[in-house]
Amino acid sequence: MLKYILKRLALSVFILLGVSFIIYFLIRCMPVSYIDQKIAAINQGGATVSDEMVNSMKEAYGLADGDDFFGILKGYGRWLGGLVKISEETGLPTLDFGISFKYAIPVTEKITETMGVSFAVALIATIFEFMIAIPLGITAATHQYSARDYVVTILVMIGISLPTFFFGQILKNVFAMQLGWFPPSGLIDATKDLSGFALILDYLKHLFIPILTVVILSIGGRMRMTRTNMLEVMSSDYIRTARAKGLKESKVVYKHAFRNTLIPLVTSLAGLLPTLFSGAIITEQVFDLPGIGNIALSAMMEADIPFIMGYNMFLAFLSVIGVLLADLMYAVVDPRVKLK
């Protein structure tokens, strides 16, 4: 097991290097750069920008190598060379993604500052998603073509079909605008000086509608996966044998059938880890939450290379770890799987 983990981690280094180059190349190929937008803003203000000023700005932001392939390659090499630095305090190597163009602070500091909101929304929504979707998927499979199966099918269609910005606006209009039960946007009531439990309660009030939006729109896919896998397993020969032995239906369903549906669920968990930290970009936009998804979108619109690289490499690393954890979980839920 240890040998397998070390081998996968070593392979992950090369995967992350390849991912970093692709991301950097795509960012540099964007039609508008951060420098172009700065120059356009200066021109709109009535001032003129000389060629010397443009060159000095490109030099300051590390974009003076040109936009051809070799220029991008040099820029990537410079970014990669500045990635690992030795800490003066500990003497150990640390990751340094540089200073954000847009936010003018270290990328790691900005990610850490905004990650908490997105993580809280994603974690709470994921817990409720599993608590709701898996039992509903099981009951729909065990009562196929019944009223509860049709109700689950309707919920699945809602979760799959409705876009986030549309459904989020509906919930905001109903619960915030019409009923006035919850705040329509933001993370905290800036007009009040709250602390302690009152502050936590205010956070929860502001996050209720965004979390509800994420939960309702995400349970559909999980319910459909659980229902489909359960239907496939319930028609297996060993299930009929277990029933023929006189086992209770609940024991047949939850001990024999459901356990064999865990492998597809474990597969989906590979993408769960980066999802917890990536932020719900559209949801955060609709409800004006200062999460990492909202911040990353703004940085992308302005071609903030250091922040985009740091954000995407952070998610790439989590994806690699998520896939590794999913592979390890295979051996736990299915003894037939051997890791070599």
- Asked if residue 38 is part of any domain, the answer here is yes
Q: Are residues 72 and 155 in the same domain?
A: no
Give the domain range for residue 28: 2-95
Task: Give me the sign of the Cα torsion angle 143, 144, 149, 152.
Answer: positive
Q: What is the pLDDT along the chain (340 residues), one digit of tens a residue?
A: 677 777 777 888 888 888 888 888 888 887 777 777 777 777 776 777 677 777 777 777 777 777 777 878 888 888 887 777 666 666 666 777 878 888 888 888 888 888 888 888 888 888 888 888 888 888 888 877 888 788 878 877 777 787 888 888 888 888 888 888 888 887 777 677 777 777 788 788 888 888 888 888 888 778 888 888 888 877 777 777 877 877 787 777 777 777 777 777 777 766 677 777 776 778 888 888 888 888 888 888 888 888 888 888 888 888 888 777 777 776 666 656 565 6
**Exposed, middle or buried by CB within 10 Å (0-12, 13-18, 19+), for 145?**
exposed
Q: Are residues 152 and 266 in the same domain?
A: yes
CB 273 within 8 A of CB 318: yes
Q: Spell out the residues 6+ positions from residue 294 whose beta carbon is closer than 8 angstroms to its own.
A: 114, 279, 281, 284, 285, 288
Gyration radius (Cα) of the chain, Å: 25
The two three-digit tokens of residue 285, written as one number? 């936009």
CB 300 within 8 A of CB 23: no
Q: Are residues 125 and 257 in the same domain?
A: yes
- Asked if residue 212 is part of any domain, the answer here is no
- Asked if residue 181 is part of any domain, the answer here is no
- Asked if residue 339 is part of any domain, the answer here is no
Q: Are residues 151 and 37 in the same domain?
A: no
Q: Which of 74, 95, 116 is the last residue of a domain?
A: 95
- The gap between the terminal CA atoms of the chain, to the nearest Å, is 7
The confidence score (pLDDT) of residue 272 equals 73
- Asked if residue 131 is part of any domain, the answer here is yes
The confidence score (pLDDT) of residue 333 equals 62
The confidence score (pLDDT) of residue 332 equals 65
Q: Are residues 297 and 244 in the same domain?
A: yes
CA angle 113, 37, 293 (to 5 degrees): 30
Q: Which of 68, 95, 122 is the last residue of a domain?
A: 95
- Asked if residue 129 is part of any domain, the answer here is yes
Q: Are residues 13 and 141 in the same domain?
A: no
Q: Are residues 28 and 144 in the same domain?
A: no
Q: Are residues 54 and 125 in the same domain?
A: no
Q: Are residues 149 and 239 in the same domain?
A: yes
Number of structural domains (the chain) is: 2
- Asked if residue 252 is part of any domain, the answer here is yes
Q: Which of 71, 95, 119 is the last residue of a domain?
A: 95
Q: What does the DSSP assignment read for 73-110? A: HHHHHHHHHTTEEE-TTT-SEEE---B-TTT-SBHHHH
User: pTM for the whole thing?
Assistant: 0.77
- Asked if residue 172 is part of any domain, the answer here is no
